[in-house]
Homo-oligomer: A and B are copies of this chain.
Amino acid sequence: MKTLKTNRIFQGDCIAIMESLPEKSVDMVFADPPYNLQLGGDLHRPNNTRVDGVDDAWDKFASFAEYDDFTRRWLAAARRVLKDDGTLWVIGSYHNIFRVGASLQDMGYWMLNDVVWRKTNPMPNFRGRRFTNAHETLIWVAKSESSKYTFNYESMKELNEGLQMRSDWTLPLCTGAERLKDAEGAKVHPTQKPESLLYRVIMASTNPGDVVLDPFFGTGTTGAAAKKLGRKWIGIEREQDYIDAARTRINSVEEISDTSLLVTPSKRSEPRVPFGNLVERGMLKPGDVLYDPRGKAVAKVKADGTIVSAEHKGSIHKVGAAIQGAPSCNGWTFWHFKTGDQMVAIDLLRQKLRAEMAGKELN
């Protein structure tokens, strides 16, 4: 009978190494596999600086079929080491996550949630040809439909100021001091995940003393978060540079007992409401007429949330300022609409919309 050695990094291929570990010995697997990005040539920012993209060999696959084959093999190995009541998390982007999700279902894993990591500070879309890619997707599965999996509902609720934790998590990228750099100041790993993400994953789905395994360990974010939270960990990684960085990093981590310290306070400030939202939601229609407070100047609402007057066009604030010859203008209080023979400021509509959203804009 093999015993499981924890709190260590195994170097090598994650499939072979997982196959060598005792079966049904791990409580949770967190996996951040290659995304199979398929990037083309260089990408430059509008200021002509070059984006330092992911071009590592480990992210290259010849075809979807090859990627699927790789996915199924590591998922099978993970399934073997996972306890029957254990769960597994995978993170990915639209390049790979749909394939991973379908494979998970095909292999008998039972989906519990898909969770969206909303990035507060994503990289913009520099060419203006798509929506800003501002999120990544995590899939959380149990080993089977009948698993008695761990979910720390109360902890999650506390973490979210007394409201149920939702399936969308708003967290920043890993930057600044948290981001590991080499001697030359270059990032050690191209896609280091923020520890805050792993805190939440580990706290939600494991208990203190549980074993967390990460088959794509990289620079050890999973190990660092697990140690902080009093969980045991196992990392598997091929690259020596990543392993060195992870060892140093995890050695310097101190366990914390007071997990309330991990709470990331949610923003309670009033949500910003773009004027266009009123139009989208039918509170105002394209073609509706807006009036200045005296009912003289007029402007028409456009479908995209801008407005046009006889001489100006742009946002409610811009056109309001231009009409008054003022440097700035609060369009919300300047512009009015007619309802019956009353004139009402459009700010009323904003207040209405905020009231609908009140208490519901979590995170």
List residues of chain A with CB under 8 Å of any chain B CB: 41-42, 44, 48, 55, 57, 60-61, 64, 93-95, 97-102, 104-108, 111-116, 118, 120-122, 124-125, 128-135, 137, 139-140, 145-146, 151-156, 158-162, 164-168, 170-172, 178, 194-196, 199-200, 203-204, 228-229, 254, 256-258, 261-264, 272, 274-277, 279-282, 285-287, 300-306, 308, 315, 324, 326-329, 356-357, 360-362
Given contacts A101-B94, A262-B286, A329-B48, contact A131 B167 (CB under 8 A): yes
CA distance A277 to B160 in the complex (A): 8
Asked if A164 contacts B131 (CB within 8 A), the reply is: yes
Offer 20 A-B interface pairs, CB within 8 angstroms, sorted by A: A57-B108, A94-B111, A94-B113, A98-B100, A115-B131, A121-B360, A129-B151, A131-B140, A135-B167, A135-B168, A155-B303, A158-B315, A159-B274, A159-B276, A195-B282, A196-B280, A196-B282, A256-B286, A256-B287, A262-B302
Asked if B94 contacts A99 (CB within 8 A), the reply is: no
Asked if A120 contacts B361 (CB within 8 A), the reply is: yes
Query: Among B106, B120, B315, which residue has its beta carbon within 8 angstroms of that of A357?
Result: B120
Closest to A268 in B: B128
CA distance A282 to B176 in the complex (A): 13
Which residues of B sit under 8 angstroms from A122, Cβ to Cβ? 166
Which residues of B sit under 8 angstroms from A356, Cβ to Cβ? 120-121, 172
Question: What is the minimal beta-carbon distance from A195 to any residue of chain B, in angstroms?
Answer: 6
CA distance A362 to B357 in the complex (A): 47
Asked if B114 contacts A137 (CB within 8 A), the reply is: yes
Asked if B276 contacts A160 (CB within 8 A), the reply is: yes
Asked if B262 contacts A165 (CB within 8 A), the reply is: no
| Interface core residue of A140, A171, A304 (most chain B CB under 10 Å) | A304
Which residues of B sit under 8 angstroms from A274, Cβ to Cβ? 159-161
Closest to A271 in B: B170
Which residues of B sit under 8 angstroms from A362, Cβ to Cβ? 134
CA distance A59 to B108 in the complex (A): 10
CA distance A360 to B171 in the complex (A): 11
Which residues of B sit under 8 angstroms from A328, Cβ to Cβ? 44, 48
8 additional contacts, CB 8 Å, given A41-B145, A159-B279, A161-B315? A55-B146, A94-B101, A98-B104, A98-B105, A128-B151, A160-B274, A161-B305, A256-B287
CA distance A272 to B170 in the complex (A): 11
Given contacts A261-B287, A315-B161, contact A99 B95 (CB under 8 A): no
CA distance A167 to B97 in the complex (A): 15
Which residues of B sit under 8 angstroms from A104, Cβ to Cβ? 98
Which residues of B sit under 8 angstroms from A61, Cβ to Cβ? 106
CA distance A114 to B328 in the complex (A): 37
Closest to A302 in B: B261
Which residues of B sit under 8 angstroms from A282, Cβ to Cβ? 178, 195-196
Query: Among B135, B155, B164, B300, which residue has its beta carbon within 8 angstroms of that of A116?
Result: B135
Asked if B327 contacts A105 (CB within 8 A), the reply is: no
